[in-house]
Amino acid sequence: MKVKKNRVHSPWGGFFFVLPSILAMAVFVYGMIGYTVRESLTNRTNAWETEIKFVGLTNYRDLLVDPEFTHALSNLLKFTIVFMIGCLLSGLIMSLLLEKGIKGEGFFRSTYLYPMAISFIAMGTSWRWLMDSARDADATGLNYLLQKIGLGFLQSDWYTSEAGSMYAMALPAIWQMAGYVMALFLAGFRGIPDDLREAARVDGASEFKIYRHILFPQLSPTFLTVLIILGHISMKVFDLIFGIATKSYVTKVLAIYMWQVIFDFQNFAAGAAIAIVILLMIAVAVIPYLVYVNKTEEANK
Amino acid sequence: MSTDIASRVTKKVDIRNKRKLDGKGQFWLVFRYIALSILFVIAALPIYIMVINSVKGITGVTQSAAFIPPTKLDFSAWGPTWDQLKVPMGRTLFFVVQSSLISAVIGAINGFVFAKWRFKGSTAIFTTFLFGMFIPYQAIMIPLTQFNQWAGIGGSIYVLVFAHVVYGIPICTLIFRNYYAAIPNELIEAARVDGAGMVRIFRTIFLPLSIPGFVVVLIWQFTSAWNDFLFAIFLTGGSPDLAVATTALNFITGSGNQVYYGNNMTASLIVSIPTLLVYLFLGRYFLRGLLSGSLKG
Q: Is position B62 within any domain?
A: no
pLDDT of residue A133: 79
Domain boundaries, position B238: 78-292
- Taking contacts as CB-CB distances below 8 angstroms, the residues of chain A near B132 are 25, 29
Q: Is position B3 within any domain?
A: no
CATH of the domain at B215: 1.10.3720.10
CA atoms within 13 A on the CB side of A66: 18
Q: Is position B30 within any domain?
A: no
User: Rounded mean pLDDT of B50-76?
Assistant: 78
Are A25 and B132 an interchain contact pair (Cβ–Cβ within 8 Å)?
A: yes
- Taking contacts as CB-CB distances below 8 angstroms, the residues of chain B near A39 are 142-143
More confident residue, A117 or B57: A117
User: Does B170 have pLDDT greater than 60?
Assistant: yes
Q: Which of A282, A268, A273 is nearest to A233 (CA)?
A: A282
pLDDT of residue A140: 78
Nearest to A186 among B9, B144, B147 (CB): B9
Give me the DSSP letters along A96-163.
Answer: HHHTT--TTHHHHHHHHHGGGGS-HHHHHHHHHHHT----GGG--HHHHHHHHTT-GGG---GGGSTT
Q: Is position B144 within any domain?
A: yes
Nearest to A33 among B139, B227, B233 (CB): B139
**Residue of chain A minimizing CA distance to B269:** A122
Are B197 and A9 an interchain contact pair (Cβ–Cβ within 8 Å)?
A: yes
User: Does A193 have pLDDT greater than 70?
Assistant: yes
pLDDT of residue B131: 94
More confident residue, B22 or A260: A260
Tell me how far apart the alpha carbons of residues B297 and A223 are, in angstroms, rounded to a whole number: 10
Are A122 and B129 an interchain contact pair (Cβ–Cβ within 8 Å)?
A: no
For chain B, the first-to-last Cα distance in angstroms comes to 7
Q: Is position B7 within any domain?
A: no
Are B132 and A29 an interchain contact pair (Cβ–Cβ within 8 Å)?
A: yes
pLDDT of residue A281: 96
Are B17 and A221 an interchain contact pair (Cβ–Cβ within 8 Å)?
A: no
Rg (CA), chain A: 25
More confident residue, A77 or B16: A77
Q: Is position B100 within any domain?
A: yes
Size of interface A-B (CB pairs under 8 A): 315
Q: Which of B174, B176, B113 is nearest to A11 (CA)?
A: B113
Across chain B, mean pLDDT equals 87
- Taking contacts as CB-CB distances below 8 angstroms, the residues of chain A near B166 are 24, 28
Q: Is position B29 within any domain?
A: no
Task: Give the percent of chain A with pLDDT over 90.
Answer: 59
User: Does B92 have pLDDT greater than 90?
Assistant: yes
Q: Is position B269 within any domain?
A: yes
List domains and CATH numbers for chain A.
Answer: 67-300 (1.10.3720.10)
User: Does A276 have pLDDT greater than 70?
Assistant: yes
B296 confidence band (pLDDT: 50, 70, 90): low
Q: How many domains are contained in chain B?
A: 1
